[in-house]
Amino acid sequence: MTSLTVTSPATVAGSTAAAPPVFSGRIITGLVGVLLAVLVAGLNETVIKVALADIRGGLGIGYDEGTWLVAGYAATSVAAAAFAPWCAVTFSLRRFTLAAIAVFVLLGVLCPFAPSFESLLVLRIVQGLAAGALPPMLMTVALRFLPPGVKLYGLAGYALTATFGPGIGTPLAGLWTEHVGWQWTFWQIIVPALIAMLAVGYGIPQDPVRLERLKAFNWRGLLLGFPAICMLVVGILQGNRLDWFESGLICFLLAGGLVLMVLFMVNEWSQEVPFFNLQMLGIRNLSFALITLAGVLVVLLAVILIPSSYLAQVQGYRPWQTAPVMLLMAGPQLIALPLVAALCNLRWVDCRWVLGIGLSMLALSCIGGSQITSVWIRDDFYVLQLLQIFGQPMAVLPLLMLATGSIHPTQGPFASAWFNTVKGLAAVIATGVLETLTTARQHLHSTMLVDRLGNSPLADSDSAGLAHRIHMQALVLTSSDLYLCMAGIALALILLIFWLPTRMYPPRAPT
């Protein structure tokens, strides 16, 4: 049988395994502090995206410039997740986490005061670097400090970053832009980040600083991997706006990023202390978890973006008016995730079945969403969101259990790098795919509707109103297509469960 409790070797990646500190309230405080910092970092990115129109109006910048603010932040955020675990081991987990939070909150304070677009872009790029360094710390703390009996609950906290965080972003964006001021989309991080620093400083044990690791620093890997990830992320996020391969810039970014990524992987395979342990991909459950996680995150992002976009474009909703739909899905995650963790912690429960049921609920929700019409309002999405309440945690938490239960504890930093980099890239790819599908299907449906209309007398009676109706109907049909596509992805992931993962038992059955 397989269990989350694994006897670890004495050394992994050149580091000696130390006995974990005694589990106590201080450890819980530290874990909550890291979780709060990670949630705030995720909310910062989501809220800025949702409120970007108001921010652009407040700062007097154009649409194109606004897209670079999003792309620059995302690029360094994803890239930082790949290299942060190595830095945490070298400079100590506690000090590195505190430094990342401090930089993150300081730059957030300064962003609204940026004197120019260029300076704001630099601030957001560096802030993304600090924000991206935080999620790997959460998984590292959960794997390293929590005893077997509560480890799944710690992983449930990590799962909140994929279920609760993205859903709460729209309500917060609406709150700040409608009732306070666009500046607070940047400043909302101040108080929770300071609380997180206090909790981390109090609760996370201080490791010795290991500066001797700098002598064996993988400089080649950093110089290849960091720009590779940044180029791919920017290329994907800007691709739809610049018409993909019709743009020389996009061709350069994607082709150059892929070449550098291949060279990076070749370098990592031969490194004694790599950033990514490629040999770990031979672990069946870990590989399955990474593949499935990417697909699940595409679906989770879609079920947030599709109703938000539909309500905004077809019904004219502002973010604050869309908030109840998002809150109905996000708020209950605070209860659903611990319940799913308790379920997976039962020895007789096979987490693969939990995963299959969760994916089925996501697929059913998307199939229901594909019946959308132009008369749907906010209330019509509530039933779909109810399916998401348990569907999302049941689709995410078993993946964390399958992945982390198959590795040695001292391989935690490597697993963290893999998981968080895949998570970040999957979110970026999902955004690019959804934007491209949306554009393509809108064009297709608009063309088909115009062709069917033909030479109807309606075309001459009210051409402006008719064009608007055609555009609205194309948006509705596109939303239906996207829902069906997401349902297909969820069903395809269910099929993988039957032949890829092996049974994983919890650390211990609750008594």
Q: Cβ atoms within 10 A of the Cβ of 457, count?
A: 6
User: Rounded CA gap, 219 and 271, in Å?
Assistant: 11
Q: Is residue 6 very low, low, confident or very high in pLDDT (cuts 50, 70, 90)?
A: very low
* pLDDT of amino acid 510: 42
Residue whose pair of structure tokens reads 């993909």 in the numeric block: 244
**C-alpha separations of 321 from 30, 315, 337, 350, 355 in Å:** 36, 10, 26, 40, 32
User: Rounded CA gap, 192 and 198, in Å?
Assistant: 10
More confident residue, 58 or 95: 95
Task: Give the rounded percent of residues in the chain with a pLDDT score beyond 90.
Answer: 26
* pLDDT of amino acid 507: 65
Q: Does this chain's domain 22-207 share its CATH topology with 279-511?
A: yes
In this model, does residue 192 exceed pLDDT 70?
yes
CATH class, domain 279-511, is mainly alpha
316 φ, ψ (degrees, to nearest 5):
75, 25
Integer-rounded Cα radius of gyration of the chain? 23
Tokens of 70: 């999003």
Average pLDDT over residues 278-306: 86
User: Rounded CA gap, 188 and 186, in Å?
Assistant: 6
* pLDDT of amino acid 233: 94
In this model, does residue 482 exceed pLDDT 90?
yes
More confident residue, 439 or 15: 439
Q: Cβ atoms within 10 A of the Cβ of 238, count?
A: 20
Return the SS3 of 11.
strand
User: Rounded CA gap, 170 and 47, in Å?
Assistant: 6
- Does residue 506 come out as left (phi exceeding 0), alpha (psi in the -120 to 50 range) or beta? beta
At 322-344, the pLDDT tens digits run 888 888 888 888 888 889 988 88
Of 31-45, 201-215, 223-237, the one with minimum mean pLDDT is 201-215
At 98-119, the pLDDT tens digits run 999 999 999 999 998 988 889 9
User: Rounded CA gap, 141 and 136, in Å?
Assistant: 9
* pLDDT of amino acid 463: 62
At 69-96, the pLDDT tens digits run 999 999 999 999 888 888 888 898 899 9
* pLDDT of amino acid 59: 84
User: Rounded CA gap, 457 and 465, in Å?
Assistant: 14
Return the SS3 of 24.
coil
* pLDDT of amino acid 458: 54
User: Rounded CA gap, 442 and 464, in Å?
Assistant: 18
Average pLDDT over residues 281-296: 86
Q: Cβ atoms within 10 A of the Cβ of 64, count?
A: 10
More confident residue, 139 or 505: 139
**C-alpha separations of 252 from 89, 240, 258, 429 in Å:** 35, 15, 10, 18
Contacts of 171 (CB under 8 A, 6+ apart): 319, 320, 323, 326, 327, 330
Residue whose pair of structure tokens reads 């099929």 in the numeric block: 495
User: Rounded CA gap, 312 and 318, in Å?
Assistant: 6
Q: Cβ atoms within 10 A of the Cβ of 51, count?
A: 25
Return the SS3 of 3.
strand
Q: Mean of the per-residue pLDDT values for the chain? A: 84
Question: Mind giving me the DSSP string for 375-392?
Answer: T--GGGGHHHHHHHHHHH
* pLDDT of amino acid 33: 92
Per residue in 466-483, is it b (16+ CB within 10 Å) or e — as a string? Answer: beeebeebbbbbbbbbbb
* pLDDT of amino acid 508: 59
Nearest by Cα to 76 from 11, 122, 18: 122
Return the SS3 of 103.
helix
Domain locations in the chain as residue ranges: 22-207, 219-276, 279-511
User: Rounded CA gap, 139 and 462, in Å?
Assistant: 58
For β-strands 15-16 and 11-12, DSSP reports them as antiparallel
Contact 5, 509 (CB under 8 A): no
Average pLDDT over residues 305-324: 84
| pTM score | 0.85
In this model, does residue 19 exceed pLDDT 80?
no
User: Rounded CA gap, 415 and 418, in Å?
Assistant: 5
DSSP secondary structure letter of residue 178 = I
Q: Is residue 454 very low, low, confident or very high in pLDDT (cuts 50, 70, 90)?
A: low
* pLDDT of amino acid 323: 80
User: Rounded CA gap, 350 and 329, in Å?
Assistant: 25
Contact 182, 51 (CB under 8 A): yes
CATH class, domain 22-207, is mainly alpha
User: Rounded CA gap, 159 and 360, in Å?
Assistant: 19
User: Rounded CA gap, 259 and 271, in Å?
Assistant: 19
Contact 96, 88 (CB under 8 A): yes
- Does residue 318 come out as left (phi exceeding 0), alpha (psi in the -120 to 50 range) or beta? beta
180 φ, ψ (degrees, to nearest 5):
-125, -70
User: Rounded CA gap, 312 and 59, in Å?
Assistant: 22
In this model, does residue 15 exceed pLDDT 70?
no
What length is written for the chain? 511
DSSP H helices, 177-247, are 184-187, 190-203, 219-239
More confident residue, 419 or 412: 419
